[in-house]
């Protein structure tokens, strides 16, 4: 959900449709493809996100162990994050010059590159579906590498289940009020890797795109196979927030429908931890502001 600065003024509280602006209401009027033909899936690879992932009876090839992503949280994570209102969601930001925040402690090593976790945000309902069933919510952790590559790590979020995810309870418990720096209670730091991803949990991989205009392709998606559980009341509050801010549709939802799989091959792997901690390099401010939302 990295958006052009110039779009932010257009994506104000009312987020009205018009040339260059978009929202989940205008999506259903078909204006996303007018803004960017890529959203129509007709250019480049046609590999758009989100997708349906077949689960029951599916047998996906596992990627080699050497390809598994590694997550690292230097000093245990980030002391604080910036809660930001965006045009189509609400995000927890770690790197944003304008918000005067620059924590590069959260890193993923993937595909021979080091990625920094720039922000995470939430969709309701989930964008990806499992056997065509969405979950109540989905979290997207947006990673950026020095060369401008994006990789999104996703977690499916349900509201049924006895064990509520503590990290999400803490984040949502801090409230959706935006444009403020937030620290979590006590000594806890922001570490969404330990917070929502099982240490050697399995994931599905697919090549995809940003899920809002300009729907840029070439974005890697790694979706955790184990869902996490949060309180229904937080999902309801988030939907109220999206309704109030104009970021969601009239139901307070902010998800793009699933897109054709085309010739894509889904593979699986396992998350891992550790390794050396190379700096993620200099992230291009242009890429940090790059249009689109994963
Ligand atoms: Zn997203």
- Residue 74 Cα, ligand 1 centroid: separation in angstroms? 24
- Closest listed residue to residue 127, CA positions, set 253, 31, 1, 261: 253
- Residue 88 Cα, ligand 1 centroid: separation in angstroms? 9
- Residue 140 Cα, ligand 1 centroid: separation in angstroms? 5
Helix (H) or strand (E) holding 7, with range, is helix 5-8
3-state helix, strand, coil in the chain (%, to 5): 20, 30, 50
Task: Report how far residue 77's alpha carbon sits from residue 69's, in angstroms, rounded to the nearest whole number.
Answer: 18
pLDDT, residue 22, reads 75
- Residue 193 Cα, ligand 1 centroid: separation in angstroms? 16
- Residue 143 Cα, ligand 1 centroid: separation in angstroms? 11
**Tens-of-pLDDT digits for all 294 residues of the chain?**
444 333 333 333 333 333 456 777 666 656 788 888 888 877 778 999 999 999 999 999 999 999 999 999 999 999 999 999 987 889 999 999 889 999 999 999 999 999 999 999 999 999 999 999 999 999 999 999 999 999 999 999 999 998 999 999 999 999 999 999 999 877 789 999 999 999 999 999 999 999 998 899 999 999 999 999 999 999 999 999 999 888 888 889 999 999 999 999 999 999 999 887 777 778 888 888 764 467
Exposure of 283 in the CB half-sphere (CA atoms within 13 A)? 26
- Residue 142 Cα, ligand 1 centroid: separation in angstroms? 8
Task: Report how far residue 198's alpha carbon sits from residue 175's, in angstroms, rounded to the nearest whole number.
Answer: 25
Residue keyed to tokens 């790694």: 222
Task: Report H helices in 129-231.
Answer: 166-173, 192-196
- Residue 176 Cα, ligand 1 centroid: separation in angstroms? 17
- Residue 57 Cα, ligand 1 centroid: separation in angstroms? 27
- In CATH, the architecture of 5-288 is Roll (3.10)
- Residue 282 Cα, ligand 1 centroid: separation in angstroms? 23
DSSP string, 244-271: HHT-S-TTS---PPP---TT---EEEE-
- Residue 281 Cα, ligand 1 centroid: separation in angstroms? 24
Whole-structure pTM value: 0.91
Residues 55/226, Cβ–Cβ less than 8 Å: no
- Residue 90 Cα, ligand 1 centroid: separation in angstroms? 10
pLDDT, residue 29, reads 57
Sign of the torsion formed by the C-alpha atoms of 198, 202, 204 and 205: positive
- Residue 1 Cα, ligand 1 centroid: separation in angstroms? 6
Q: Which residues of 205-218 are buried (b: 16+ CB within 10 A; e: fewer)?
A: bbbbbbbbbbbbbe
pLDDT, residue 30, reads 63
Residues 156/134, Cβ–Cβ less than 8 Å: no
């Amino acid at each position: 959900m990295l958006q052009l600065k110039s779009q932010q003024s257009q994506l104000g509280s009312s987020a009205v449709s018009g040339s260059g602006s978009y929202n989940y209401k205008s999506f259903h009027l078909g204006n996303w493809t007018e803004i960017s033909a890529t959203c129509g899936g007709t250019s480049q690879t046609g590999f758009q996100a989100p997708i349906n992932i077949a689960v029951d009876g599916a047998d996906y090839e596992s990627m080699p162990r050497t390809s598994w992503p590694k997550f690292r949280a230097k000093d245990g994570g980030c002391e604080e994050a910036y809660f930001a209102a965006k045009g189509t969601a609400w995000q927890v930001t770690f790197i944003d010059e304008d918000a005067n925040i620059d924590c590069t402690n959260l890193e993923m090593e993937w595909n021979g590159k080091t990625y920094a976790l720039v922000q995470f945000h939430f969709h309701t309902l989930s964008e990806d579906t499992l056997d065509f069933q969405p979950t109540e919510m989905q979290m997207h952790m947006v990673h950026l590498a020095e060369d401008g590559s994006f990789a999104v790590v996703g977690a499916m979020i349900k509201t049924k289940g006895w064990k509520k995810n503590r990290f999400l309870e803490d984040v949502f418990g801090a409230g959706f009020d935006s444009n403020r720096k937030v620290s979590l209670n006590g000594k806890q730091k922001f570490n969404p890797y330990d917070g929502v991803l099982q240490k050697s949990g399995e994931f599905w991989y697919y090549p995809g795109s940003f899920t809002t205009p300009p729907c840029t392709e070439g974005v890697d998606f790694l979706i955790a196979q184990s869902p996490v559980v949060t309180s229904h009341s937080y999902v309801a509050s988030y939907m109220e927030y999206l309704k109030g801010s104009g970021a969601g549709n009239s139901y307070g939802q902010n998800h793009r429908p699933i897109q054709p799989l085309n010739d894509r091959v889904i593979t699986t792997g396992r998350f891992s931890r550790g390794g050396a901690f190379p700096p993620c390099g200099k992230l291009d401010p242009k890429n940090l502001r790059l249009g689109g939302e994963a």
